[in-house]
Amino acid sequence: MSTWVVSRRECLAGLFCGMLAWGGAGLGIALADPPAGEGAAPTTAAPQKYRLAYRFVPGERVTYSIQHDSRIASTANSRQEVALNNTRTVRSYRVLEVAITGEAKLELQIDSVWMSSQFEDADGEKSPAVVFDSTQPAGENPPPQFSVVRENVGRPQSIVTMDPQGRMLTARRLNVREGEPAEVDPRQRMESFLLTLPTEEVAVGGSWRDPMDVPVRTEGKLMTKVRLQTTYTLEKVEGSEAHVSYKTVVLTPLEDPRVVAQLMQREMTGRFVFDLEGGRVVTREAKLDRSVVGAFGAQSNLKATAEYSEKLVPVTTAARETTSAVE
């Protein structure tokens, strides 16, 4: 197998890991100025502002159904290969306790996952799909790329402390392997868990930013950090639903296309609907369309497209709660 194929398939493995990495919102209103005195010049009412904050209820379990489909096409030495990946995940968090300040200790869990991976050549011929379904009996050992997934489904994975704006304050992994640290730097947040909300009330059209540092591997397998930033914009408010768009970009100047390739799957554009009264995300969707030249050599090209969707599962149909590992 050529070097570029190995690198591309390692990139595929990273994609699966990323997909599994893993609210009272008061309605803030800015009141208009009182009526001006007789004969005074008319004043313009201040724009209405809203407070977006997660509402955590002790003992409650919040569940989401997630669909993630991606296509990664790599070309090198006049040879092309395409990786097709599809996942269907049910993920939840349970609120263990809530402080008077609104900060909450949450227990994160992957309830179930279905995964499919296959390759397509330049002629459109597809290899047999490798499928993993956690709801089915274990049977024989799962394929190597899914072995870690089998170990982590159906039981609590970590305990985190979050503030009402979705910022991670502390994080501790459960079921860690020998040699792995249990405590996690909260700055290395679990993406796709809670989206970051503004610290101040915001009007329609207002924006807020969320920077973060992401570790990447450079030449010689050395690790370094790259700064990413997600910019959110409140597009509109309909009833108690706030519609927010967002976009993630890399801020650190990068020259090595191999490093750029490691980050391309993070540069997504999307939107979500937030329930102001319930204090939680109702739906979320995102898309990716990114290309990198030179990721596997001077004449190589890597193109990734993906679609992600997330939907809140009603309590009556959510997956049955499992016993907490901390009880």
What value, to the nearest 5°, has the Cα angle with vertex 146 and ends 166 and 67?
Answer: 45
pLDDT at 4 (0 to 100) = 38
DSSP H/E element including 98: strand 79-98
Q: How many CB atoms lie within 10 A of CB 236?
A: 11
Strand pairing class (49-50; 202-203): antiparallel
Q: Please tell me what DSSP assigns to residue 22.
A: -
Least Cα distance to 277 among 10, 4, 24 occurs for 24
Least Cα distance to 104 among 151, 48, 164 occurs for 164
In total, the chain counts a number of residues equal to: 327
CA distances from 214 to 27, 40, 317 (A): 34, 55, 36
Q: Is the dihedral of CA 116, 117, 118, 124 positive or negative?
A: positive
pLDDT at 151 (0 to 100) = 78
Tell me the average confidence (pLDDT) per consecutive run of 10 residues in the chain, 327 residues long.
Answer: 42 45 34 44 80 96 96 87 94 96 94 92 84 78 70 88 93 72 57 83 97 85 89 98 97 91 91 97 96 86 95 71 38
Domain boundaries, the chain: 3-30+49-317
pLDDT at 316 (0 to 100) = 63
The domain defined by 3-30+49-317 carries CATH number 2.30.230: yes
Cross-strand pairs, 289: 305
pLDDT at 23 (0 to 100) = 32
pLDDT at 31 (0 to 100) = 31
Rounded CA-CA distance 132/86 in Å is 11
Asked if 281 and 193 touch (Cβ cutoff 8 Å), the reply is no
Asked if 23 and 56 touch (Cβ cutoff 8 Å), the reply is yes
Site of tokens 């979320």: 284
Rounded CA-CA distance 285/274 in Å is 12
pTM of the model: 0.80
